[in-house]
Chain A
């Protein structure tokens, strides 16, 4: 059992809105944030729906780049968390640990140079320092780190759909090692742009239920047909408990532990026996010093793909052995899959659920897959519990589980 770490602030932006409590109210009401994409032309794409967060700077025909959007969404979530923790204004006396996707020079920028070959493009783009700073992998997070005045090197982690949970782990470990008394753990995702939609479409990973956007993300159902991509950001302020108490901060809850396990089976599929997923959840329990029976809610990775939901339900049942598992919900049914931000957003949702002693629902449960054998929480309901498990699994065999505890 390792020391628990206090959470003193959270922030959230999803397709359901800006702000953690705004999101919580929408989730408890079972609202979906999924809709048709209007920011760019989806003609010919297999999926044309998403959990879109459109920003003021997104002009018709000239949307902001993913990098610029990641920075804006992350800044909003981190700013909310810092304000709640009572730690504004800058500087912030700890590091920024953030999960985000790789970024790249996108087609609107390429097109702006009027060249049709790479040599022509490279010559025409020479000296465009604004684009260089926009599209460096370290660009967006560095600008956030400098805005909030965080210390040292921003730890920018990309472990695919586990990135947000990996960021929590990095922050947790830095505090436990005594490197810092507090840290920002965040995830920011804005990969929703034409090329990314085409790539995920190629993998046949996305739901094509385009005529029913709000019903498209339907984890654990017989008719689930893929995930729904989404924008979003989440942030948590993590703090050494004694430090939080000494400065009189309100402790909202705790990160009790985290665990990870790399799956060595396949780049995009889990080992058929679910062993790596089970191992990562067990390691999180061991790290927190908890037994499975002390977990009252599982916020599942629950992407709504046929493969994930089957494997995850199998693994959760295996973890709990002969005892019935606790309720297993997927809030991705409402906000979609925020990829690199999901781990941070969903850890914050676990905290909200613990604070409200209420389980957020998994919506669209008209045809629950009976083989999965879990209570998927079709409607929000009150629930007395002290600890929640949040799962995040990513391509590349990246599996991370985080355990959030009540204050």
Chain B
């Protein structure tokens, strides 16, 4: 029955790298193509590696981002097992007792700041870390301490998931509440959550709402990330 009743290409839709493969075909991206696995931190790590490739002149141009479709029972099953889904009516992120998902795709093009013709924003700093959860507050503090100095009026966007312990640690590390939670605007996006937060920061800069934006993220289970964006000189 299974072998006769299913479309052969159904399987291909289940390979995460087929998103990148389809982008290669549709947009003629013929260089590297790498797909990272691992929930929230994979999106942040993909951004960090992409930036490092540009900074080291391994790449002159890079497309980075991700996509997440939440309206699938498979997704709810996995995260329900972890007890990390918010139940009940809508609440703003700090009041949530778990994650409220959204669906989105978010991509950015990266180029060297020295040669980009019309930069929307400058990605000044991206850093990630990961380890056991008990040392998460210390890693978040170290990541923030190593971020270039924030000027007065620096906007802060948190991509916190809503998962309780991780969100609590991120908010404690920030000290003051962020200006925005991306999960309030878009729902929580898991893999593309951090790239989407960085894209929102770039939009805020392009619209003149901020000259500098700090983006933070903490994986529901593992991983921490920060990025600092600035207006082009």
Tell me if A231 counts as interface (CB < 8 A to partner B).
no
Most buried by A among B16, B53, B81, B222: B81
- What is the chain A residue whose CB lies nearest that of B12? A267
Asked if A177 and B52 make an inter-chain contact with CB atoms under 8 angstroms apart, the answer reads: yes
Tell me if A104 counts as interface (CB < 8 A to partner B).
yes
Task: Choose among A139, A155, A266 the residue that contacts B45 (Cβ–Cβ < 8 A).
Answer: A155
Interface flags, B31-59, vs A, CB<8A=1, else 0? 11111111101101100110011001010
Q: Which of A7-15, A82-90, A201-209, A219-227 contacts B (4 or more CB under 8 A)?
A: A201-209
A291 contact set on B, CB distance < 8 A = none
B6 CB, nearest partner CB in chain A, Å: 6
Interface flags, B105-134, vs A, CB<8A=1, else 0? 000000000000000000000001111100
B80 CB, nearest partner CB in chain A, Å: 5
Known: A159-B35, A177-B56, A203-B11. A152 touches B83 (CB 8 A): no
A204 contact set on B, CB distance < 8 A = 8
B11 contact set on A, CB distance < 8 A = 199-200, 202-203
Asked if B10 and A202 make an inter-chain contact with CB atoms under 8 angstroms apart, the answer reads: yes
Tell me if B95 counts as interface (CB < 8 A to partner A).
no
Tell me if A260 counts as interface (CB < 8 A to partner B).
yes
- B residues 201-227 touching A (CB-CB < 8 Å): 219, 221-223
Known: A198-B3, A203-B8, A262-B24. A126 touches B81 (CB 8 A): yes
Known: A125-B81, A170-B49. A100 touches B37 (CB 8 A): yes
Q: Which of A128-136, A292-300, A357-365 contacts B (4 or more CB under 8 A)?
A: A128-136
Tell me if B196 counts as interface (CB < 8 A to partner A).
no
Asked if B130 and A154 make an inter-chain contact with CB atoms under 8 angstroms apart, the answer reads: yes
Tell me if A145 counts as interface (CB < 8 A to partner B).
yes
Known: A152-B128, A202-B8, A396-B15. A267 touches B53 (CB 8 A): no
- What is the chain B residue whose CB lies nearest that of A141? B38
Tell me if A105 counts as interface (CB < 8 A to partner B).
yes
B56 contact set on A, CB distance < 8 A = 173, 176-177
Asked if A263 and B24 make an inter-chain contact with CB atoms under 8 angstroms apart, the answer reads: yes
Interchain CA distance A121-B3 in the complex, whole Å: 25
Asked if B77 and A118 make an inter-chain contact with CB atoms under 8 angstroms apart, the answer reads: yes
A276 contact set on B, CB distance < 8 A = 30
Asked if A102 and B14 make an inter-chain contact with CB atoms under 8 angstroms apart, the answer reads: yes
Task: Choose among B7, B82, B131 the residue that contacts A129 (Cβ–Cβ < 8 A).
Answer: B82
Interchain CA distance A137-B191 in the complex, whole Å: 10
Tell me if A345 counts as interface (CB < 8 A to partner B).
no
B41 contact set on A, CB distance < 8 A = 138, 153
Asked if A264 and B24 make an inter-chain contact with CB atoms under 8 angstroms apart, the answer reads: yes
Asked if B128 and A153 make an inter-chain contact with CB atoms under 8 angstroms apart, the answer reads: yes
A266 contact set on B, CB distance < 8 A = 25
A115 CB, nearest partner CB in chain B, Å: 10
- What is the chain B residue whose CB lies nearest that of A109? B81
B57 CB, nearest partner CB in chain A, Å: 10
Interchain CA distance A263-B52 in the complex, whole Å: 24
Interchain CA distance A155-B129 in the complex, whole Å: 11
A139 CB, nearest partner CB in chain B, Å: 8
Most buried by A among B17, B84, B132: B17
Most buried by B among A104, A133, A267: A267
B129 contact set on A, CB distance < 8 A = 152-153
B77 contact set on A, CB distance < 8 A = 105, 118, 121-122, 125
Interchain CA distance A385-B103 in the complex, whole Å: 53
Asked if A397 and B25 make an inter-chain contact with CB atoms under 8 angstroms apart, the answer reads: yes
Interchain CA distance A63-B70 in the complex, whole Å: 29
Interchain CA distance A154-B21 in the complex, whole Å: 23
Tell me if A210 counts as interface (CB < 8 A to partner B).
no
Tell me if B28 counts as interface (CB < 8 A to partner A).
yes
Asked if A395 and B21 make an inter-chain contact with CB atoms under 8 angstroms apart, the answer reads: yes
Tell me if A270 counts as interface (CB < 8 A to partner B).
no
Tell me if A402 counts as interface (CB < 8 A to partner B).
no
B174 contact set on A, CB distance < 8 A = none
Asked if B15 and A155 make an inter-chain contact with CB atoms under 8 angstroms apart, the answer reads: no
Asked if A397 and B33 make an inter-chain contact with CB atoms under 8 angstroms apart, the answer reads: yes
Asked if B81 and A152 make an inter-chain contact with CB atoms under 8 angstroms apart, the answer reads: no
- What is the chain B residue whose CB lies nearest that of A45? B3
Tell me if B146 counts as interface (CB < 8 A to partner A).
no
Interchain CA distance A262-B20 in the complex, whole Å: 9
Interchain CA distance A136-B40 in the complex, whole Å: 11
Interchain CA distance A132-B220 in the complex, whole Å: 12
Interchain CA distance A159-B74 in the complex, whole Å: 22
B10 contact set on A, CB distance < 8 A = 199, 202
Tell me if A212 counts as interface (CB < 8 A to partner B).
no
Asked if B58 and A173 make an inter-chain contact with CB atoms under 8 angstroms apart, the answer reads: yes
Tell me if A61 counts as interface (CB < 8 A to partner B).
no
Interchain CA distance A155-B38 in the complex, whole Å: 9
B3 contact set on A, CB distance < 8 A = 44-46, 198, 201-202
| Extra contacts besides A102-B15, A396-B33 (6): CB < 8 Å | A155-B36, A156-B42, A158-B16, A198-B3, A202-B8, A396-B17
The 10 A-B residue pairs with the shortest CB-CB distance in the complex, in nearest-first order: A396-B21, A138-B38, A132-B82, A199-B11, A118-B73, A132-B81, A137-B37, A156-B37, A262-B24, A128-B81
Question: What are 18 residue pairs bridging A and B, where the CB atoms are less than 8 Å apart in the complex?
Answer: A105-B74, A125-B77, A129-B81, A138-B222, A145-B130, A157-B34, A158-B15, A158-B16, A159-B33, A160-B15, A170-B34, A179-B52, A202-B11, A203-B12, A204-B8, A262-B31, A396-B20, A397-B21
